[in-house]
Chain A
Amino acid sequence: MKRIGILSAALVLAVSSVMGQAKKPTIMVVPSDRYCISKGYMTKFDNQDIPDYKKALQNDADLRMAISKISGIMADREFPLKDLEQELRNISNESAESAMITGASGSSVAESPVDVLKRTAKADIIMDLDFSVVKQGPRNSIMYTLNGLDAYTSKNIASSTGVGSPSSAASVELLIEEAVLSHMDEFTGRLQAHFDDMFANGREVKIMVKVFDGSEVNLSDEVDYNGETNELAIFIEDWMADNTVSGRFSLSDGTENFQRYEQVRIPMYYERNGRQRAMDTRTFVNNLKKFVAESFNLESKVYMRGLGEAWLIIGEK
């Protein structure tokens, strides 16, 4: 019995050292749009009303307490969260520092408009938090909703919602704390189920294939591959079928200029130099780039939108 125990422990150690670690998604708690609108935490940008998270975090003690409680519980589960307030502060510091840095020749740090656009607070999974006080005469209760949204697939991967029992004695702060405590186990349980599914069936991501307007070929042009002549789009689709976990993906839309692949299940690991390494969408799309270059002699560019989304733009580097 003891020998079996030692053997299985050695096996687990061997497997974990060979498998390595999968890419860990980042998670951040963000107040919902509804919450920001109802409390007036909005600002104008490009003639559009958008949530002003900085204002919300600086003025709303209840919100800060709820976020802090959720962060504490997640840290206790060994899954520390990205802090929205700190992230916003980092971004403004980063832009200030970036503007100040100059090289020996006096040149400044290169930054394209896309780089500026990408400098926003983002996470792979957004915990969309919403709560409000429901009054029933002298009694208060909390209506609470916490949604876990995958930033790339836009899917709701975990949620917990409900109205707490009314109380006339407890303060609103206490009721909010109670709501967080009440719902977190249900939420983390669903998040765990999502991760279990990810390890069993691959990570679900989104991939876009686009074409530069100066490209000589588009996706509906006919090309030759392995003695077969067909549209480029068809060969790309075949590659997706061969390289996704159990061939699971769906081509949700497409024209001669783009293909949108959703619910693409990419493997969690790939082998490089004899070792298992974590796979992300950029690495997966890079493999597609290599296929397009080697098979059709076409140049292309990989644009990364995060852990779960990447674009391949055909025609130029």
Chain B
Amino acid sequence: MRRLIKTVALSAISMLLMCGTTNAQSRNKVRKLEYNSQYNYEVATLAVGVDGTKLVKVWGYGKKAEDAVRDAKAQGVACAIFRGFPAGSNGSAAPTPPIVTDPNAATTHEDYFVKFFEPGGKYLQYVNLSTDGVSTDRVKVNKKTYKVGVELSIAYDELRKELERQGIARKLNSGF
């Protein structure tokens, strides 16, 4: 009898443990999907940048802090292209529309964007300034992931002109 109770208790504990592991696994999976989602932009507009630039704060994710900083820079440039920046708080800046208005541009011009955003790729040309050396917004969200906030000055006008040259963004005067 005692042996039976012991067996039942052991199996109940192991089942609970298994459930916990499965939940943790699915949570991690969802988190990973969220971090890598092309729609996940955590961006705030800080102020009006100097002529042709946007001053924003972007949060990136990575296994190491420097990976997260790299991700934040790519996210900042991608946000300027595909989503635009929200308005700054307390009237500090008006919202900025995305450079590309076609919602399918990322897939239509996939080859270009894959090359553009590859490590050390052309996107870095449009990040004028960043606080990656002195960033204080560094959070370790779990054992394997860092979340780092970086202040960036993005060369928005130059980026727009590059995408117009490539025929990805429409010029204001196109068709006329």
- Chain A residues with CB under 8 Å of chain B are 21-25, 76-79, 141, 160, 162-165, 178, 181-183, 185-186, 188-193, 195-196, 199, 268
Known: A178-B48, A182-B48, A185-B156. A195 touches B175 (CB 8 A): yes
| CA A310 to CA B175, docked complex, whole Å | 23
Size of chain B's interface in residues, with CB distance under 8 A?
25
Taken residue by residue from 93 to 116, chain B's Cβ proximity to chain A (1 for < 8 Å, 0 otherwise) reads as 111110001000000000000000
Query: Does B37 reach chain A (CB closer than 8 Å)?
Result: no
Q: Which of B84, B87, B101, B157 meets A192, CB within 8 Å?
A: B101
Query: Does B136 reach chain A (CB closer than 8 Å)?
Result: no
Closest 3 CB pairs of A and B: A189-B97, A24-B176, A165-B92
Q: Which of B90, B95, B97, B157 meets A76, CB within 8 Å?
A: B157
Question: In the complex, how many angstroms separate the beta carbon of A283 from the nearest chain B beta carbon?
Answer: 16
- A22-B175, A164-B48 known, 14 other contacts, Cβ within 8 Å: A24-B173, A76-B157, A77-B171, A78-B171, A78-B172, A79-B173, A141-B91, A165-B47, A165-B92, A185-B94, A185-B97, A186-B97, A190-B97, A196-B101
CB-CB under 8 A from A141, the residues of chain B are: 91
CB-CB under 8 A from A182, the residues of chain B are: 48, 93-94
Q: Which of A77, A162, A268 meets B172, CB within 8 Å?
A: A77
Residue in chain B with minimal CB distance to A185: B96
| CA A160 to CA B92, docked complex, whole Å | 14
Contact check, B97 vs A165: say whether CB atoms are below 8 A apart: no
CB-CB under 8 A from A23, the residues of chain B are: 176
CB-CB under 8 A from B87, the residues of chain A are: 162
Query: Does B70 reach chain A (CB closer than 8 Å)?
Result: no
Q: Which of A78, A178, A185, A186 meets B173, CB within 8 Å?
A: A78
Q: Which of B48, B92, B173 meets A181, CB within 8 Å?
A: B48
CB-CB under 8 A from A79, the residues of chain B are: 172-173
The interface residues of chain B, by DSSP majority, are classed as loop
| CA A22 to CA B84, docked complex, whole Å | 29
Contact check, B171 vs A183: say whether CB atoms are below 8 A apart: no
Known: A22-B175, A22-B176, A192-B101. A163 touches B91 (CB 8 A): yes
CB-CB under 8 A from B170, the residues of chain A are: 192, 196
The contact sample of 11 A-B pairs, CB cut-off 8 A, is A21-B176, A78-B171, A160-B94, A165-B90, A165-B91, A183-B94, A189-B84, A190-B97, A195-B172, A195-B175, A268-B175
CB-CB under 8 A from A192, the residues of chain B are: 101, 170, 172
| CA A141 to CA B47, docked complex, whole Å | 14
Question: In the complex, how many angstroms separate the beta carbon of A162 from the nearest chain B beta carbon?
Answer: 5
CB-CB under 8 A from B95, the residues of chain A are: 186
Residue in chain B with minimal CB distance to A80: B173
Interface centre among A23, A160, A165, A188 (most CB of B within 10 A): A165
Known: A141-B91, A165-B91. A186 touches B175 (CB 8 A): no
Contact check, B176 vs A186: say whether CB atoms are below 8 A apart: no
| CA A182 to CA B55, docked complex, whole Å | 11
CB-CB under 8 A from B97, the residues of chain A are: 185-186, 189-190
| CA A278 to CA B172, docked complex, whole Å | 18
Contact check, B172 vs A188: say whether CB atoms are below 8 A apart: yes
Question: In the complex, how many angstroms separate the beta carbon of A136 from the nearest chain B beta carbon?
Answer: 12
Interface residues of B in 161-176 (CB under 8 A from A): 170-173, 175-176
| CA A190 to CA B90, docked complex, whole Å | 23
| CA A82 to CA B55, docked complex, whole Å | 31
Question: In the complex, how many angstroms separate the beta carbon of A72 from the nearest chain B beta carbon?
Answer: 9
CB-CB under 8 A from A162, the residues of chain B are: 87, 91, 94
Question: In the complex, how many angstroms separate the beta carbon of A204 from the nearest chain B beta carbon?
Answer: 15
| CA A195 to CA B88, docked complex, whole Å | 27
Residue in chain B with minimal CB distance to A164: B91
Residue in chain A with minimal CB distance to B102: A196
CB-CB under 8 A from A268, the residues of chain B are: 175
| CA A32 to CA B74, docked complex, whole Å | 41
Interface centre among B49, B90, B93 (most CB of A within 10 A): B93
CB-CB under 8 A from A189, the residues of chain B are: 84, 96-97
Question: In the complex, how many angstroms separate the beta carbon of A165 from the nearest chain B beta carbon?
Answer: 4
